[in-house]
């Protein structure tokens, strides 16, 4: 489970993003590693690009069942770019991604948030032609 400190999930460049996450696994499963990251990804017609703004990995040696069940917190200062954007054939989306490695399996959870107030392409003023 991932929680952000802002309920509306909207941030401005330069804001400090504070995120808490908890991992609940069945007793018989042990996590080998946990990766938490703040990323932007592109969507739309083009191939997906990904940019990593923040990354943290906790390996097996630093994790035990008790530590895993605790609430973990990450914080990072958000950059000035790229802003979240809804375009016609290009979209940019920010998210906090949590990836847990258990044996050969990976469990991923994303929590999306808005960075900046860029206007969607469809909302720009009509062409002045």
Partner 1 sequence: MKNRWTSTWYFAGRKALSRSTRGWWSGVIEATIAAVLILLGVILLVATVTANVLQSTPTEFYSKLLYFALQPLLAVSMIGIGTFLVINALWKVGASAERRSVIVSKASQLEVLTEIHRRRGDLPTVPAKSSIPLKGTRLPYRILASRRGVWGLLTAGVLCLIFVSIVAVLVVTAYVKWQMGRTDWIAGMLAIPILLAAVWSFYRFLRQLLKTTSVGPTVIELARYPIVPGVSNEIFLSQSGRLRLKLMDVRLVCVEEATFNQGTNTLTERREVYAQRLFRKRGIMLRAKEPFESSFEFTIPAGAMHSFQSSSNRITWQIEVHGQIDGFPNVARIFEIVVIPAAAEGQPTLRLAIPQPA
Q: Which of 3, 5, 82, 111 binds partner 1 (CB under 8 A)?
A: 82
CB of 103 to partner 1, least distance (A): 32
Instruction: Output 106 or 117, the one with its CB closest to partner 1.
Output: 117
Contacts of 111 (CB under 8 A, 6+ apart): 2, 3, 4, 9, 19, 95, 96
Residue 9 CB contacts under 8 Å (≥ 6 apart), including other chains: 111, 112, 113, 114
Pairwise CA distance, residues 112 & 9, whole Å:
8
In the window 41-60, what residues touch partner 1 (CB under 8 A)? 42, 44-49, 51, 53
Cα 77 to Cα 22: distance, rounded to the nearest angstrom: 21
- The stretch near partner 1 (CB under 8 A) out of 7-15, 18-26, 30-38, 64-72 is 7-15
Interface stretch with partner 1, choices 29-37, 66-74, 102-110, 118-126 (CB under 8 A): 118-126
Q: What is the DSSP string of 44-64?
A: ESSPP-EEEEEEEEEEGGG--
**Nearest-approach distance from CB 8 to partner 1, in angstroms:** 17
Which of 89, 104, 105, 108 binds partner 1 (CB under 8 A)? It is 89
* Minimum distance of partner 1 from residue 43's CB (angstroms): 9
């Amino acid at each position: 489970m991932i929680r952000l400190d802002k309920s509306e999930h909207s941030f401005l460049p330069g804001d400090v993003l504070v995120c808490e996450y908890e991992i609940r696994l069945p007793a018989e499963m042990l996590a080998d590693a946990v990766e938490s990251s703040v990323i932007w990804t592109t969507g739309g017609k083009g191939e997906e690009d990904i940019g990593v703004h923040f990354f943290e990995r906790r390996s097996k040696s630093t994790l035990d069942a008790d530590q895993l069940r605790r609430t973990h917190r990450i914080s990072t200062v958000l950059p000035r770019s790229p802003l979240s954007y809804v375009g016609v054939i290009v979209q940019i989306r920010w998210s906090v991604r949590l990836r847990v490695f258990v044996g050969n399996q990976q469990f991923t959870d994303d929590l999306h948030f808005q960075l900046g107030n860029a206007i969607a392409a469809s909302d720009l003023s009509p062409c002045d032609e």
